[in-house]
Structure 1
Amino acid sequence: MKHPAIAFREIPAAMAAGAAATDPALGLLPLWKLSDLYPARDSPAFTADTDKAEKLALAFEEKWKGKLADAATKTGAGGIGEALKEYEALDDLLGKLGSYAGLTYFSDTSNPANGKFYGDVQAKLTDLSSHLLFFALELNRIDDKLMDACMDRDPAAGHYRPWVVDLRKDKPFQLEDKLEQLFLEKSMTSAAAFNRLFDETMAELRFEVDGEKLPLEVTLNMLQESEPEVRAKAAAALSKTFGENLRVFTLITNTLAKDKEISDRWRGFKDIADSRHLANRVEREVVDALAEAVKNAYPRLSHRYYAMKAKWLGMEQLNFWDRNAPLPETPTAVIPWTEAKETVLSAYRGFAPEMAKIAGRFFDEEWIDAPVRPGKAPGAFAHPTVPSAHPYVLVNYMGKPRDVMTLAHELGHGVHQVLAGAQGALMCQTPLTLAETASVFGEMLTFRALLEKTRDRRERKAMLAQKVEDMINTVVRQIAFYQFERKVHTARKEGELTSEQIGELWLSVQGESLGPAIRISEGYETWWTYIPHFIHSPFYVYAYAFGDCLVNSLYAVYSQAEPGFQEKYFELLKAGGTKHHSELLKPFGLDAADPSFWSKGLSMIEGLIDELEALDRA
């Protein structure tokens, strides 16, 4: 049983009820209202739902275990359709409990009480899930013809056909019941435990710059400052602290890579990334074609762009900490929260009023947590929770132009999650490859809306440069991350890796992807340590490149004023996990299995670099 798996901290009472933090430059920054899920972790409502979930799980097991083959011969009461409906209701309830615990924990991972609450809830959910594990396994053992006939005959079962068909793709990698139960129960003391160790270690790290000890998010943000010495000091602080904690991150990486290798071996996966491809419902050949296309484009994209940027900044080579430095033309004014909100909603409204209306609810109904604060999870995400509730968005807003784009990105996810929620708990979750579609499209809408308003040549150059950098970070950098993970997991099969070995693998892919215009000096060999995707979702990262290239192709169709584009786009989002990417892209005339598909997406990035070069000559 899958639950929305984003973890989180205890919020003070005012925060839990929904509130706002005031920043002199940014204005009122919203805090999410988790009371929409539960009033508090010790509330009667949370306790009652926990007790209810336990009773329902035990009753479900008693009612259906060992009886699904017989149920497949029935229609209506006692049939598979009834079982699926009850299972979906349980999935929603367990997901709601897990979401609340996770969002609470990630609000402040440094709070021990939050860690205990999250750990206790995860343990409880794992225990309850062990009583439901039989369902998918037993369902997959039903003969294909019998199952098809059941879904044809019984409308209640037929409703869940996409989920059942999807589930049966896991059948070749399914173990016998006792082993599956062991894997599930041991996950709490293996992968989940090391994920939590990573989160709590990262939340506690401090990076000293000019005598001030800063959290990760603030220190990383200094790499976007205009003063070279500020960027250099931030990079030195990051390298120093990463280096001091290298042993624990090396242990985590080795342990999780070995844990995955054991699981893959038992299940019979041939390639180290095949389990991720299966989860994403994407063929290995499609991902290989994407990775190869991006790798071949390194010279035309990142190598070419960074050479141009070095010249703009008056340098022969950029230091690795100058990669995201702003150009002299970049506006330095801090963007207040209200302006960021209107910028994104206006761009969404220009595409489709319904899109802006849904995104507006995140602001109006307090579904966003925006301020930077100690212990809060770094980065940004949109958590879908469950269809009976609503999504939440976390950002760390500091008023940079990139923060506005991040807000547009996460709200794109949020809109997607709201629309897909109508599919129900079992079929609303979109594979990761398509989950990035709405987020990247939201970014693109916001960027294009801002660019159209910009008449000043210097400002236009700064905006284009920042967009190119974001796209390089999304496509080139993420495929380099994917190649790094492949190297680490492959090498781990031969034995435990030292910190130095992991650092060498990191430098090899970074040097290849960034190109000769970036000087990779001492200290950068430890920067693999802070990337959470390597820990939480091995091989997730190619989904960003997949999504960006896909959206570039989608946007090209949109910009050609394709009739009915908005309606077809909303149908894609509403589909959730009910359709394969080939089926969803077909109405737009796109096919991810076609090798030229990726070239089309990459050519848009190349076109923006061409425009920058033309502006530079003007």
Structure 2
Amino acid sequence: MNENVAASPHPLPRWDLNDLYADPDAPQLGRDLEDAGAAAAAFAERYKGKLASLDGADFGRAIGEYEVLSESLHKVLCYGQLLFAVNVGDGEIGRFYQTVQERISDIFTQTLFFTLEINRLSDGELDAKLSDTQCARYRSWLRDVRAFREHQLSDDLEKLLHEKAVTGRAAWVRLFEETFADMRFALDGAEATLSEALNALSDHDGAKREKAAKALGGRLGENARLFSLITNTLAKDKAIEDEWRGYPRPVSERNLHNQVEDVVVDALVGSVKTAFPDLSHRYYALKARWFGVERLDYWDRNAPLPDDDARKYSWDEAKTTVLDAYAGFDPQMAEIAERFFTHNWIDAAPHAGKDSGAFSHPTVPSVHPYILMNFHGKARDVMTLAHELGHGVHQVLAAEQGLLMADTPLTTAETASVFGEMLTFQSLLKGAEDPARRRFLLAGKVEDMLNTVVRQIAFHEFERRVHDERRGGEVAVERLGDIWIDIQRESLGPALRFDDDYRHYWTYIPHFIHTPFYVYAYAFGDCLVNALYDAFAKGHDGFQQKYLEMLKAGGTKRHRELLAPFGLDASDPAFWKRGLDIVSGFIDELETIG
């Protein structure tokens, strides 16, 4: 069904996972698991119950051994994840991935004591160990591990929760993924995947958009009870664990992982909600006027403008567009991004059984990231490529920190991806001499920003309300639909019209299932990048070098330290307004253009 990319002179890329393993039966994969099992047993024998007695040098060496062992296990797990992502509907691949998860969980259980014992060290004991340079290298990782001290349970309970994860949360997530991989939507006499059906919602043909919307709503509604069960089960599972661990709110654990204070997230959410009328309500009212109607049907929310030629991009055009934009900012960024194309680190071809989303998986520092996306030839797909390559560049630069410290919290993980989008957009905008083309580009960017900021905060509010209500008992599928519709009306405004089919669209949002309360990180990252780009556009001295250093820091610094060189502070309410004003300014220009 992917006729809109048929003009590409080359087939869309499929990634080459050989840098991880040749295939699921590769002898090296089996040997790595065997070696990791033996290493984990030896590690436990050597260090369990003894961390307090180690001097700084020995403690540093122990962390180094833990990092090597963790990387070995992560490499196998990442291979399973990537293989499954492009073969979600393949039962044999699903079995392999589940087996790998269970095997790794069993091995890692032997090392679970390590972080638990680290959190039982007193501040004084840890400070003494950190006086050694070998140990001090891991200072930021130790800081992040110990952030969870007060929420840590007994060793036996931690072990039980870890071992049961593969038959608990992970099993429900797998059910969600496999259900959507097998699901098909009737479109124009053919059976479309979720990715193809969602893509049709931005088709130039209004009748096709409506058919896709109805097909999506109908099929999602047929499965709504199953997704309600999954959602309720996972929300209750989280509530039980949150209560045991003493988290005051459902979002609190995610905020701790994101290394951001509850009050900062509350300020972000409050700022965006206050801006709904100035942003989404105003823009969709403008778009309705462009369509010559008082209100837009929900399937027209992401529709091309009536006079837009809906230009299609070949894969080569998308590649050149993004790489040129990156090179215009800094040659090193473009050089790193180009590796993804030359070494087959991208899987872009849509096909049945493939994950419908997009991601850049960092895998492990000793290998490299891999990007998954579904390229349909639209301008939004070019922006998705720019987004995921931003992640990829970030992950390559941060890899020098090592496995334990390369990973960034979600709040700053979106920085490079959204910045990459902004660079690409501004590059396209500069080349748009035709006023009509400029309007199309601006409208597309505004819609992407509304989807990233307004839409994701609306998703966050949906999650918050669902988890809050779940504490009082199971939330009925009808009530889930009510919450969804209420929030859509509040966030998108009176210029959008919804029908009953739209009540079930909450079911396909994977972040609700995979990573509870992930979604606000997109809005955090978008507003952060808008503020950063504003500093860059105003000629901030040495911006490029400071930016690359920020990416290289990986997870070693928190948002305050990362933003300080640019004179920015996310705890300042003016910071969020500065980011939202960028979106508002684009809408101002669109109103002027008419």
User: TM-score by structure 1 length?
Assistant: 0.95
Taking the TM superposition and a 5 Å limit, the aligned residue runs for 1:392-407 are: 392-407=370-385
- 1:165 is displaced (CA, Å) by 1.3
Alignment-mate amino acid for residue 397 of structure 1: F
Q: Please name the residue that 1:84 is paired with.
A: 63
- 1:300 is displaced (CA, Å) by 0.2
1:22–1:29 Cα contact (<8 Å) kept: no
The correspondence for 2:392, drawn from 390, 414, 429, is 414
The correspondence for 2:292, drawn from 290, 298, 314, is 314
Alignment-mate amino acid for residue 128 of structure 1: I
- 1:28 is displaced (CA, Å) by 2.0
CA distance in 1, matches of 2:56, 2:212: 65
Taking the TM superposition and a 5 Å limit, the aligned residue runs for 1:151-550 are: 151-152=130-131, 154-550=132-528
SS of 2:191's equivalent?
strand
Deviation per CA, 1:355-393: give whole Å up to 9, x if none. Answer: 000000000011000100000001100000010110000
CA distance in 1, matches of 2:283, 2:382: 23
- 1:23 is displaced (CA, Å) by 5.8
- 1:325 is displaced (CA, Å) by 0.3
- 1:333 is displaced (CA, Å) by 3.2
Q: Please name the residue that 2:45 is paired with.
A: 62
- 1:166 is displaced (CA, Å) by 1.4
1:331–1:459 Cα contact (<8 Å) kept: no
Matched, 1:124 2:103: yes
CA distance in 1, matches of 2:204, 2:27: 51
- 1:328 is displaced (CA, Å) by 2.5
Alignment-mate amino acid for residue 22 of structure 2: P
Deviation per CA, 1:163-192: give whole Å up to 9, x if none. Answer: 111111110100010000011011111110
2:5–2:377 Cα contact (<8 Å) kept: no
SS of 1:382's equivalent?
strand
**TM-align CA RMSD:** 1.1
Q: Please name the residue that 2:6 is paired with.
A: 24
CA distance in 2, matches of 1:40, 1:229: 44
Aligned pair in 2 of structure 1 residues 364, 128: CA closer, same or farther (>3 Å)?
Answer: same
1:330–1:463 Cα contact (<8 Å) kept: no
Matched, 1:148 2:131: no
Alignment-mate amino acid for residue 24 of structure 1: A
- 1:329 is displaced (CA, Å) by 3.5
1:242–1:527 Cα contact (<8 Å) kept: yes
SS of 1:374's equivalent?
coil
Matched, 1:603 2:586: no
Deviates more, 1:453-462 or 1:323-332: 323-332
SS of 1:141's equivalent?
coil
Q: Please name the residue that 1:35 is paired with.
A: 18
- 1:315 is displaced (CA, Å) by 1.3
Alignment-mate amino acid for residue 32 of structure 2: D
Taking the TM superposition and a 5 Å limit, the aligned residue runs for 1:90-101 are: 90-101=69-80
Aligned pair in 2 of structure 1 residues 75, 312: CA closer, same or farther (>3 Å)?
Answer: closer
1:276–1:540 Cα contact (<8 Å) kept: yes
- Identity percentage of aligned residues: 54
Alignment-mate amino acid for residue 96 of structure 1: K
CA distance in 1, matches of 2:500, 2:80: 40
Deviation per CA, 1:333-355: give whole Å up to 9, x if none. Answer: 32110000000000000000000
CA distance in 1, matches of 2:309, 2:96: 44
Alignment-mate amino acid for residue 64 of structure 1: Y
Q: Please name the residue that 1:46 is paired with.
A: 29
1:57–1:131 Cα contact (<8 Å) kept: yes
Q: Give aligned pairs, total.
A: 591
Alignment-mate amino acid for residue 340 of structure 1: A
Alignment-mate amino acid for residue 124 of structure 2: K
Deviation per CA, 1:490-525: give whole Å up to 9, x if none. Answer: 000010111101000111111100000000112110
Taking the TM superposition and a 5 Å limit, the aligned residue runs for 1:544-559 are: 544-559=522-537
SS of 2:406's equivalent?
coil
SS of 1:260's equivalent?
helix
Alignment-mate amino acid for residue 342 of structure 2: D
The correspondence for 2:118, drawn from 126, 139, 145, is 139
CA distance in 1, matches of 2:198, 2:90: 23
CA distance in 2, matches of 1:201, 1:22: 27
Q: Please name the residue that 2:541 is paired with.
A: 563
Alignment-mate amino acid for residue 563 of structure 2: L
CA distance in 1, matches of 2:373, 2:220: 23
CA distance in 2, matches of 1:502, 1:575: 41
User: TM-score by structure 2 length?
Assistant: 0.99
Deviation per CA, 1:205-230: give whole Å up to 9, x if none. Answer: 10012321110000111111111111
SS of 1:208's equivalent?
strand
Alignment-mate amino acid for residue 155 of structure 1: T
Deviates more, 1:330-339 or 1:289-298: 330-339
Gaps of 5+ in 1: 1-20
CA distance in 2, matches of 1:331, 1:134: 60
Alignment-mate amino acid for residue 367 of structure 2: A
1:22–1:28 Cα contact (<8 Å) kept: no
Alignment-mate amino acid for residue 158 of structure 1: A
CA distance in 2, matches of 1:156, 1:588: 31
Deviation per CA, 1:288-329: give whole Å up to 9, x if none. Answer: 000000000000000000000000011110001110000033
Deviation per CA, 1:587-616: give whole Å up to 9, x if none. Answer: 000000011110110000000000111111
Alignment-mate amino acid for residue 541 of structure 1: V
Deviates more, 1:539-548 or 1:44-53: 44-53
